[in-house]
């Protein structure tokens, strides 16, 4: 069997080399592929790549039976030419293969990628370990495979989070997530300081809201014609916030020790500059919780206790927070927000909260951005008399919102399955009737 396998793989490699060579020659002859043809080639290449990755995972599982994890990870990284992190993911997925059913088949047939299979494997194992039972785990696994085949990684991750939340005890989840918190910094190949962090949703959502709020302010303060990508301003916001925190601490220290000891002029200047960008308003974190869950301090079947756009949180933590000024709490038993409408452009707080609770992701088909979202009058523009109502408002990421408000694109009708809307070039068919 080994000799046959080696020959087949050598042949597959030669086939790929021939295709790559032909593509290069066709380009040089001016006899290249049309856009549609290139897309078809790309789709097939994607499948071949997923299959090759699946083969690496399967063979890694065999390798792990004879060698230690560290050794195997090193081998996978050097043979595939990937980073240590990517190799770790492959090896970890290989270790969980034996527990998988439909996801293993989907991986072997090139229907899902390694990244998708890794999410499914982790979720299925967690559901199983949380006492959901093997039957529940298979149901979850089958559903996630279907999602992976039809939706992007963003949707898959969200469904995976929900599936775990259903079976896992919120207090146990909070404890587990607390031990999983982490922050690392390193110097990258360009000599820049890079970092990675992971925070439990309870505190993480607040940090994210503060960071996003500061980023938006810096973005808006920049001259409109010369704005940089928002990620750069987010980096500036992080620097500002950490410095402002240090300055505040130092000032508190000065006050404690008496003013005579230090009058640091540069600190004062920096504090003023930081203060000009953000006058210290606490951003709002929204939590959606069922009344019964809040009273009980725990969720049961079908009840929600979550931060929209982030994920489920511990109801006991919400109870502790009640009364804190930065928290707005929407109790799902409250009045039906769909009836609230407003004539001005300003979105009333009640309506804003309902829109936050309805899910926070860009409404454009194929876009899964959940940060820097802005509300858009989706059906009828505000300038053309469109009401500020639940039905006429939707979330768009800052980039898509800009393209729409600049008049470069418009939203098509929502897809009946996903509810998302295509972003069409201005003047394309499917135009909303005027008025």
Give the interface with Zn ion as residue ranges (CB under 5 A). 362, 364, 367, 369, 397, 400
Q: Which of 380, 389, 387 is nearest to 351 (CA)?
A: 389
Comparison of 293 and 364: residue with beta carbon closer to Zn ion: 364
b/e map 6-31, b = 16+ CB within 10 Å: eeeeeeeeeeeeeeeeeeeeeeeeee
Q: Which of 398, 400, 379, 399 is nearest to 389 (CA)?
A: 379
Comparison of 110 and 422: residue with beta carbon closer to Zn ion: 422
CB of 152 to Zn ion, least distance (A): 12
- Asked if residues 298 and 318 have their Cβ atoms less than 8 Å apart, the reply is no
CB of 13 to Zn ion, least distance (A): 39
Comparison of 91 and 364: residue with beta carbon closer to Zn ion: 364
Comparison of 145 and 362: residue with beta carbon closer to Zn ion: 362
Comparison of 155 and 331: residue with beta carbon closer to Zn ion: 155
202 burial level (CB within 10 Å; 0-12, 13-18, 19+)? buried
Q: Taken in order 219, 221, 225, 227, is the CA torsion positive or negative?
A: negative
Comparison of 166 and 368: residue with beta carbon closer to Zn ion: 368
- Asked if residues 362 and 324 have their Cβ atoms less than 8 Å apart, the reply is no
- Asked if residues 423 and 400 have their Cβ atoms less than 8 Å apart, the reply is yes
Q: Which of 328, 327, 353 is nearest to 340 (CA)?
A: 353
Distance, CA of 386 to chain centre: 31
Comparison of 169 and 212: residue with beta carbon closer to Zn ion: 212
DSSP H or E run through 62: helix 35-64
b/e map 274-304, b = 16+ CB within 10 Å: beeebeeeebbbbbbbbeebbeebbbeeebb
CB of 360 to Zn ion, least distance (A): 12
CB of 45 to Zn ion, least distance (A): 26
CB of 362 to Zn ion, least distance (A): 3
Structure token digits, residue 87: 């190799």
């Amino acid at each position: 069997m080994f000799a046959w396998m080696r020959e087949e793989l050598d042949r597959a490699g030669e086939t790929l080399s021939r295709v790559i060579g032909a593509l290069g020659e066709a380009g040089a002859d001016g006899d290249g592929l049309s856009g549609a043809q290139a897309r078809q080639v790309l789709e097939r290449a994607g499948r071949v790549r997923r299959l090759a990755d699946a083969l690496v995972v399967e063979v890694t599982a065999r390798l792990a039976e004879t060698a230690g994890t560290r050794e195997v990870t090193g081998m996978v990284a050097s043979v595939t030419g990937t980073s240590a992190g990517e190799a770790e993911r492959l090896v970890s997925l290989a270790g969980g293969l034996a527990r998988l059913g439909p996801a293993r088949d989907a991986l072997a047939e090139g229907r899902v990628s390694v990244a998708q299979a890794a999410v499914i494997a982790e979720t299925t194992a967690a559901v199983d370990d949380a006492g959901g039972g093997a039957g529940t785990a298979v149901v979850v696994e089958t559903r996630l495979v279907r999602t992976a085949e039809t939706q992007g990684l963003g949707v898959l991750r969200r469904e995976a989070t929900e599936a775990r939340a259903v079976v896992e005890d919120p207090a146990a989840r909070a404890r587990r997530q607390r031990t999983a918190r982490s922050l690392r910094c390193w110097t990258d190949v360009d000599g820049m300081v890079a970092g990675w962090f992971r925070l439990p949703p309870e505190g993480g959502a607040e940090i994210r809201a503060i960071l996003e709020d500061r980023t938006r302010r810096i973005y808006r303060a920049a001259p409109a014609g010369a704005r940089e990508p928002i990620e750069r301003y987010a980096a500036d916001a992080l620097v500002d916030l950490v410095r402002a925190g240090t300055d505040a601490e130092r000032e508190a220290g000065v006050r404690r020790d008496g003013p005579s000891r230090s009058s640091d002029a540069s600190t004062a200047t920096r504090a003023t500059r930081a203060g000009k960008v953000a006058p210290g308003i606490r951003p709002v974190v929204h939590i959606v919780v069922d009344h019964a869950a809040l009273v009980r301090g725990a969720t049961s079947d079908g009840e929600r206790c979550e931060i929209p756009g982030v994920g489920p949180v511990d109801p006991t933590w919400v109870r502790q927070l009640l009364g804190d000024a930065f928290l707005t709490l929407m109790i799902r038993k409250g009045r039906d927000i769909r009836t609230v409408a407003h004539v001005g452009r300003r979105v009333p707080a009640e309506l804003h909260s309902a829109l936050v609770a309805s899910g926070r992701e860009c409404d454009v088909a194929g876009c899964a951005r959940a940060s820097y979202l802005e509300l858009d009058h989706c059906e009828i523009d505000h300038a053309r008399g469109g009401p500020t109502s639940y039905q006429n408002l939707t979330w768009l990421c800052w980039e898509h919102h800009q393209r729409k408000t600049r008049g470069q694109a418009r939203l098509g009708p929502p897809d009946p399955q996903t509810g998302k809307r295509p972003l069409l070039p201005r003047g394309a068919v499917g135009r909303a009737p005027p008025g």
